[in-house]
Structure 1
Amino acid sequence: MANVWKNTLLGVTMVSLMSVPNVTEAAAPPITIKIDGQKQTYDSAPYMKNDRTLVPLRGIFEKQGAEVFWKQETNTVVAVKGDMTITLKIGSKTAYVNGAPVTLDQAAEMKNDRTMVPIRFVSETLGADVKWEQKTNSVLITSGVKSTPNKGQVLHLSQFNDVDTLDSVLATDTASFNMISQINEGLTRLDKDGKAVPGVAKSWTISPDGKTYRFTLRPDAKWSDGSAVTASDFDYAWKRGLKRSTGANYAFLLTWIKGGQDYYNGTGSASGVGIKVIDPKTLEVTLESPIPFFPEQLAFPTYYPQKKAFVEQKRAAYGNDAGTVLSNGPFKLHTWAYGQLIYLEKNNTYWDRANVKLQKVNVYIGKPQATQKTMYTKGQLDLFQAEANAHALYQGNPEYHSAPEQTSGYLQFNMTHPVLKNKKIRQALTYAIDANQYVSKVYNNGTVGATGLVPYGISNGQGGDFRTTNGDLLNRSANLPKAKALLQEGLKELGLTQLPTLTVLMDNGTTSKLSGVTLQEQWHQNLGVEIETEYVSFAERLERSVWGDFQIVYSFWGADYNDPMTFLDMYLTDSDFNETRYSNPEYDRLVMAAQKEVNAAMRMQYLYDAEKILMNDLPVAPVLYRQYSYLLKPYVKNLTLVDNIKGYDLKNVSIEGK
């Protein structure tokens, strides 16, 4: 990422001290700063310049309860206190408070790696009273004399990981998808029930065979630079994603379009892709096969538009900063302090701006969970992702909420391993896990034990729930007593008398380590075997999974779209996501038949049968369906949790009664 933000809190605030004695800087005695009666000491001392006292921003702002961030590329300070956000560029006489300009009587400057500013800014921004005491050559600052904004349409959030990129074609992680979804919009949006509603497209029609869609775009859909969003913007973005050299990991979603796979493989051309720009406000798309959930999928960031001239002007920098991204959604990026803060503001060129109530969103990055909890308690955060054991801690608290994530947690067995290629051993290791007991001990936040690979909340395309309809395919209560016998039968088939040492590769977080210990205990108790664990970073676990460098790996998969195919096509023999190296011709036949089937009921039956085969072979051992548990301030209204990828939708959020 191009942004390199230092967590340096800089200079001070700006208040002109007209009564300061007219002496030269060299002759003046040291200037003392007292905040609420306490003398302050700074590594960069205050000084006089042009009859103005300049002081270090960091110390004073922090003492006043503000957080300050430094953006090195643009020499800009960002300070946040309550609902107020201040931005100030070194060398400039103009600061911005909640977007409104404030003129300084002396430009901010750097001295000894600290930002120094005139002190009047303290009273004008942080609500302090500032006086000059001539006899002691002191600046006296009294906190909280004046009110500061705290009841505006401002939302304060946090997330553990920073955004990797705001390029919707290249994004692959949840943090990026989530932020892109706030500042951009596709042809459709998802409502609170996960159904497609008009976005940039005000309407669309579908051909009788379910393959061809014609979208009519809104005449008032605009980019944040004021230019129109056109059908060509979708054509460009999608074909850019399909161009193999772009390196879009989510290009597989675009290969559903007719000719898309051939273009991606290099055996077809861009002109052969089934995307047709009829006119600037009409787009026609033809699919290889009918996809009943295609309107919902168009709300996914990979299908968002991009303005060709802008992308090609920014080149490799596109999507890396506020100045290298355009918005066509409810919000736009004001400031991105990488690793620290993302500051969004309302996009006043958005077609539905009249219904966007929030004026500003501050997203704090990388705060430890304990810090987030403290900030939530103090009212500095409006939403807090609850820790493990949330049910015990917050049950009965009206601010506590829990919702399914559409995410499965499961063990993947390396099918090339000489022991794990034995089906009965895989069954024994799977059935020996008491999933309900496991989630109660490790999570206790509404997360439930898995009964198949596909989690609850995934549609069966006919108004029902896939998991509910396909039932419990693991039946652990009946199979747990059989686990030891299955293990012995499997060892006998391999000519072994005892299970060789096996190791589970896992992430190195606190919850993951508790998870590992719990699995070890259950395998010891229910099978009489000792399984080792290896804890590594998230990045290393992903890399080793891709290369098959594991015996057993604990993995998670969240739905890319609301259909069981997002889970089941991973285990096709030639799938890039088949990290187990599993292969079953009948499984392949059923999944590929479902990919082409027009009849919705028949298509779903293929998928029901495919999951049953997978859960009989058990190249993966489903463990849990993860739940998202959080605390939300009661004054935050209409927050919609969309899905595990895009997280939340802030378009309709408002602050009422704070």
Structure 2
Amino acid sequence: MKKRNLTAIILSTAMLAGCGSSTSSSATKTYRFAADQDITTMDSAFATDPTSMNALHATNEGLMAVGKKGDTVAGLAKSYKLSKNRKVYTFTLRDNLKWTDPDGKTTPLKAQDFVYSWRRALGQASEYAYMFSSDGAGIKNADKLVELGTKATKKQLATLGISAPDDKTVKVTLERPCSYFLDIMTFSCFYPQSEKYITKWGKSFATDAKHLLTCGAFQATNWVKSSKITFKKNNNYYDKKDVKIDNLTMYLNQDPKTSAANFEAEKVDFATINSSLVDKYKSNKAYTQFAQGYVYYININFKKKLLANKNIRAALSYAINRKDFTSNVLKDGSQPIGGMVGRTIAYNPKTHEDFRKESGNYVAYDLKKAQSLFDKGLKELGMKSASLEILYGTDESPENTVAEYLQHAFSQLKGLKVDVKASTRQGRIQKQDASQYDIALQHWGPDYSDPTTYLNLGLSNNSNNRGKYNNPKFDAAMKAAQKESDAYKRWNDLLKAEKIEMKDYAFIPLFQKGAAALQNPKTSGLIYKMALSSPYTFTYVQVK
């Protein structure tokens, strides 16, 4: 099967050097990872956060998988055939694939498990149901099923472009060719699930380690919510020879200071840290920085009279000194971003130029211009002053730091009173869906290596377009790209779409996140990827 290169970083002793201990012995080898968020679900149909996806990725796999170099390789499918019109993929599963339950009992993993899983995600209107539609993989009839949501009947769900002609064959039919289709098959919402097992346990499924099935490199052994989840090597995994550690421990909901202290105490092997700790550790040989795919941005509520004014939106963008914030506040390798599409995610099919570089920079810091635009906007609205509230989630680090900085930056505009509203991630989403906010701080990580993974957020019918931005010209450009079979013409359609969106100040991009971390130099093989599947792959980790 052909491998596909992706942006990936292998965090290993090649990058890090220094002293440190590891939990290895002649008997067992354990890798300990500190996660800054909690697991919200271990049901692959509903996972949306990085920590849940990391845990699911450790225990499950899709038709395609993440290879040792961070590339897309054969997963549960050993091979595939592509039709001449590039719209039908026929996958052949590996021999003797098995599900393993918590008691160690195994059952065959069959092609029908993929059919069931995909239909279930759409039928229960999971948040990532759009990944099956034209906004993602473009699977036949998925768009209609996404619109129907929970109202879709079994007969209607059966029209989804996936079938299992036999136990080892998965046939997927697309609406149109999709250049990143194999890559997107590594994503957790496309993992298989056992209908028999889920039916047996009902609401208890995936709620604890006693109600989980595994087909991946590791098997969950214990899960203490908001504390830690432990795994052991799955000896029924088809590629068990490449799994070099015996145990994996993920400490959950760890704040950076706790993670750093545990690293110094040799209790964890990998810990991400935040800006407040960078100066302390940047000279430590275990310290490293790497770029992430997350683009942080301001989501604007277009239903608010003040923010529906383009000059007001432009004023807010010009009032932000992104370089100062990333260099002097975050200090973790984050970089200012000039548009909604992240760097090193997608490249011109002819020139191989990065989309971000080719599309250009649509932001700048100019406080004088910001004030002029703000005054003009107020005059157009018949207002002499205005107030603005910044909504953010306290459990979405570093959004609290972003909120504080933006409050100060926007307060420099004469005539604008700025307040902040702290909530949780879920509370933020609820307020946005109810249109009970002015602007909200959000971030978006790429689901696959294509500009549309970011640009789809601006579509008028996209469920994640919570500010209700609506521009028919933008929708038309995106629709043209969706229908275009010529890769270069499609690329230009997407460049046009981002230009429309950015000139409209549909969103206000802030920065592309960097990460600062401490890693035990006696470990290697941890893979971080900007796009696809999950941020981290533990399959190839080694502990000396």
Instruction: State the TM-score bracket (shorter-chain normalisation).
Output: 0.7 to 0.9
Would you say how many aligned residue pairs link Structure 1 and Structure 2? 506
Higher deviation after alignment, 347-356 or 407-416: 407-416
Structure 1 CA distance, aligned partners of 2:408 and 2:225?
41
Question: C-alpha distance in 2, partners of 1:193/1:610?
Answer: 33
Q: Which amino acid aligns with 2:534?
A: K
Structure 1 residues 570 and 368 mapped into 2: Cα distance closer, same or farther (>3 Å)?
A: closer
User: Are 1:257 and 2:257 counterparts?
Assistant: no
Alignment of 1:238-637 (within 5 A): 238-243=118-123, 246-255=124-133, 256-264=138-146, 265=148, 266=152, 269-460=156-347, 462=349, 463-474=352-363, 476-477=364-365, 480-496=367-383, 498-508=384-394, 511-525=398-412, 529-637=416-524
How far, CA to CA, are the matches of 1:263 and 1:552 in structure 2? Answer: 31
CA distance in 2, matches of 1:254, 1:569: 13
1:185/1:200 contact within 8 Å kept? yes
1:97-246 equivalent positions in 2, closer than 5 A: 152-191=28-67, 195-224=71-100, 225-243=105-123, 246=124
Asked if 1 retains the 8 angstrom alpha-carbon contact of 2:386 and 2:415, the reply is: no
Q: Distance in 2 between matches of 1:527 and 1:390?
A: 34
Q: Distance in 2 between matches of 1:228 and 1:442?
A: 52
Q: Please give the per-residue CA displacement for 1:486-515, whole angstroms capped at 9, x wherever unaligned.
A: 22222222223x331111112336844433
Distance 2:276 2:338 in 1: 22
Seen in structure 2, the aligned counterparts of structure 1 residues 569 and 512 have a Cα distance that, compared at 3 Å, is: closer
Amino acid aligned to 1:466: F
Structure 2: which amino acid aligns with 1:254?
A: F
CA separation of 1:461/1:195 partners in 2, compared to 1, >3 Å: closer, same or farther? farther
Q: Distance in 1 between matches of 2:348 and 2:207?
A: 38
What stretches of structure 2 of length at least 5 have no aligned partner? 1-21
Q: One-letter code of the match for 1:155?
A: Y
Separation in structure 1 between the aligned mates of residue 159 and residue 412 of structure 2, nearest angstrom: 59
Determine if contact 2:36/2:272 at 8 Å carries over to the other structure: no
CA distance in 2, matches of 1:518, 1:179: 33
In 2: Cα distance, 1:319 partner to 1:190 partner: 23
SS at the partner of 1:227?
A: strand
The structure-2 alpha-carbon separation of the partners of 1:176 and 1:514, relative to structure 1 and needing over 3 Å to count, comes to closer
Assess if the C-alpha contact under 8 Å between 1:262 and 1:269 holds in 2: no
CA gap 1:185/1:395 in 2 versus in 1, 3 angstroms:
same
CA contact (8 A) 1:407 1:557 kept: yes
Which amino acid in the other structure matches residue 595 of structure 1? Q
1:166-207 deviation line (CA, Å, top 9, x unaligned): 111122222211100000010101346653211111111222
RMSD of aligned C-alpha atoms?
A: 2.2
The alignment's TM-score, normalised by the length of structure 1, stands at 0.73
In 2, Cα distance between equivalents of 1:218 and 1:461: 35
Which piece of structure 1 moves more, 388-397 or 355-364?
A: 388-397
Seen in structure 2, the aligned counterparts of structure 1 residues 263 and 554 have a Cα distance that, compared at 3 Å, is closer
Equivalent AA in structure 2 for residue 650 of structure 1: F
Q: Is the CA contact (8 Å cut-off) linking 2:227 and 2:253 kept in structure 1?
A: yes
- Contact map agreement 2:386 2:417 (CA 8 A) in 1: no
State the SS of the aligned residue for 2:501: helix
Amino acid at match of 1:508: T
- SS of the aligned residue for 1:514 comes to helix
Report how far residue 531 of structure 1 moved.
Answer: 2.0
- In the alignment, the residues of structure 1 paired with residue 412 and residue 249 of structure 2 have an alpha-carbon distance, to the nearest angstrom, of 48
- In the TM superposition, what is the alpha-carbon distance from 1:532 to its structure 2 partner? 2.0
Contact 1:547–1:579, Cα closer than 8 Å, also in 2:
no
Question: d(CA) in 2 for partners of 1:627 and 1:192?
Answer: 22
* Contact persistence 1:83–1:151 (CA under 8 A): no
For the Cα contact (< 8 Å) 2:70–2:527, is it kept in 1? no
Determine if contact 2:70/2:528 at 8 Å carries over to the other structure. Answer: no
Q: 1:64 aligns to what?
A: none
- Cα pair 2:92 2:169 within 8 Å, conserved: yes
8 Å CA contact retained: 1:290, 1:597: no
Quote the residue 1:649 is aligned against.
537
Q: SS state of the match for residue 372, structure 1?
A: helix
State the SS of the aligned residue for 2:197: helix
> Whose relative contact order is higher, 1 or 2, with alpha carbons under 8 Å and at least 6 apart?
2
2:536 partner SS = strand
Give, in whole Å, the separation in 2 of the partners of 1:394 and 1:453: 31
Specify the structure having the higher radius of gyration (Cα): 1
Runs (5+) with no aligned partner, structure 1: 1-81, 85-148
Using the TM superposition, give the Cα deviation of residue 405 of structure 1 relative to its aligned residue in structure 2, in angstroms. Answer: 1.8
Deviations 1:194-241 (A, max 9, x none): 532111111112222221111111113222233332211111111111
> Quick one: percent identity of the two aligned structures?
30
State the shift of 1:390 in Å: 4.8
Distance 1:367 1:271, change over 3 A: closer
Mapped partners of 1:524, 1:348: distance in 2: 58
1:11 is matched with which residue? none
* Amino acid in the other structure paired with 1:506: Y
The structural deviation recorded for 1:574 is: 1.9
Q: Give the structure-2-normalised TM-score.
A: 0.88
Superposed counterparts of 1:15-164, under 5 Å: 83=23, 152-164=28-40
Amino acid at match of 1:292: S
Q: Is the Cα contact below 8 Å between 2:336 and 2:510 reproduced in 1?
A: yes
1:352 Cα deviation from its structure 2 partner: 0.6
Task: Return the letter of the residue paired with 2:255.
Answer: P
- Deviation at residue 272 of structure 1 after TM alignment: 1.9
- The secondary structure found in structure 2 opposite 1:437 is helix
| In 2: Cα distance, 1:576 partner to 1:602 partner | 27
Native 8 Å contact 1:432 1:522 kept in 2: yes
Which stretch shifts more, 293-302 or 544-553? 544-553
Q: CA deviation at 1:287?
A: 0.7
Asked if the contact 1:159/1:366 (under 8 Å) is kept, the reply is yes
Query: Aligned equivalents of 2:67 and 2:44: distance in 1?
Result: 21
In the other structure, the counterpart of 1:69 is none
Q: Residue 213 of structure 1 contacts residue 285 of structure 1 at CA under 8 Å; is this kept in 2? A: yes
Name the aligned partner's letter for residue 388 of structure 2. Answer: L
Distance 1:539 1:282 in 2: 39
Asked if structure 2 preserves the Cα contact closer than 8 Å seen for 1:241 and 1:251, the reply is: yes
